[in-house]
């Protein structure tokens, strides 16, 4: 299932990339005719020189990666995956019918967060309920940390993209001032346009990548915190029958 999802996302991003490059080509033709547009500015900033090309392509790569991660996290970090109602209902039914061995096997095979926590508790059933509680707590913390590490890439991209934009800004201004020095302080606006274009467009694109990446990171982090707590509470409720008072 995970491989199929990765293939679908890869195909989607490939189509987006091809379409974007085609659009840039069309905008370049407009720019040559004197028509100004955002696509034309992107094309000019990207293909003015080698350093600008490498910087802009790095920002484009960050953009594609952040889009892919946001789509993947939106599909996997949600209640129907972490605390699926069907899995909870099946586990509860097995416990009510005292089919503990079957419940253990089901939780081991089920990829849901809550099933993993319940499975960790069931393994320690022979050692008492306190051992089950400790095992469930450790499993919940481990799976929560794994989810946090998973979304950390969005945080990284959201911080790296503005730095790439700042790099383009500094380099673009260097290009512009080198033109002024080469012309003896009498450079025309056309001589400065390339460097200034790199400076402004790279900053714009870096911020454009960072804002949704960091926003999505914050949203997914909050979602993980809420749903991991919910999964732990649901697992504790499912294993409430193993408490000594309940057994008595």
pLDDT, tens digit, for every residue of 110-144? 999 999 999 999 999 888 889 999 999 999 999 99
* Percent of residues, the chain, with pLDDT higher than 90: 59
pLDDT of residue 46: 82
Classify residue 210 as exposed, middle or buried by CB count within 10 Å of its CB (0-12, 13-18, 19+).
buried
Is residue 157 predicted with pLDDT exceeding 90?
yes
Q: Is the pLDDT of residue 58 over 60?
A: yes
Mean pLDDT value of segment 6-16: 54
Average pLDDT over residues 193-218: 92
Task: Please state the rounded mean pLDDT for residues 13-18.
Answer: 54
**Could you tell me the pLDDT band of residue 20, with boundaries at 50, 70 and 90?**
low
Q: What is the reported pTM?
A: 0.80
- Taken in order 189, 191, 197, 203, the sign of the CA dihedral is negative
Q: Residue 41's pLDDT band (boundaries 50, 70, 90)?
A: confident
Q: Which region holds residue 36: left if phi is over 0, alpha if psi is between -120 and 50, else beta?
A: beta
Pick the closest to residue 114 from 82, 157, 67, 72 (CA basis): 82
pLDDT in the model for residue 38: 73
Question: 61-116: per-residue pLDDT in tens?
Answer: 999 999 999 999 999 999 999 999 999 999 999 998 989 899 999 999 999 999 99
Is the predicted pLDDT of residue 22 greater than 70, yes or no? no
Say how many C-beta atoms besides its own lie within 10 A of residue 90's C-beta. 17
């Amino acid at each position: 299932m995970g491989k199929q999802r990765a293939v679908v996302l890869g195909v989607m991003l490939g189509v987006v990339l091809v379409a974007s490059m085609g659009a840039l080509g069309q905008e370049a033709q407009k720019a040559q005719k004197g028509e100004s547009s955002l696509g034309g500015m992107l094309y000019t900033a990207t293909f003015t020189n080698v350093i600008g090309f490498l910087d802009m392509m790095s920002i484009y790569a960050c953009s594609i990666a952040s889009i892919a991660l946001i789509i993947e996290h939106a599909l996997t970090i949600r209640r129907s995956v972490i605390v699926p109602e069907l899995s909870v209902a099946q586990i509860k039914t097995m416990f009510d019918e005292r089919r503990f061995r079957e419940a253990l096997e089901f939780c081991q095979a089920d990829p849901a967060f809550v099933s993993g926590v319940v499975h960790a508790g069931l393994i320690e059933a022979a050692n008492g309920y306190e051992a089950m509680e400790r095992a469930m707590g450790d499993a919940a913390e481990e799976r929560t940390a794994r989810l946090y590490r998973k979304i950390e890439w969005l945080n990284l991209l959201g911080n790296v993209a503005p730095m790439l934009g700042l790099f383009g800004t500094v380099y673009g201004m260097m290009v512009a001032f080198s033109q002024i020095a080469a012309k003896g302080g009498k450079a025309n606006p056309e001589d400065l346009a390339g460097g200034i274009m790199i400076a402004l467009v790279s900053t714009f694109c870096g911020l454009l990548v960072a804002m949704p990446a960091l926003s999505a990171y914050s949203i997914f982090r909050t979602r993980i915190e809420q749903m991991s707590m919910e999964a732990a509470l649901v697992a504790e409720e499912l294993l409430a029958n193993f408490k000594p008072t309940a057994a008595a």
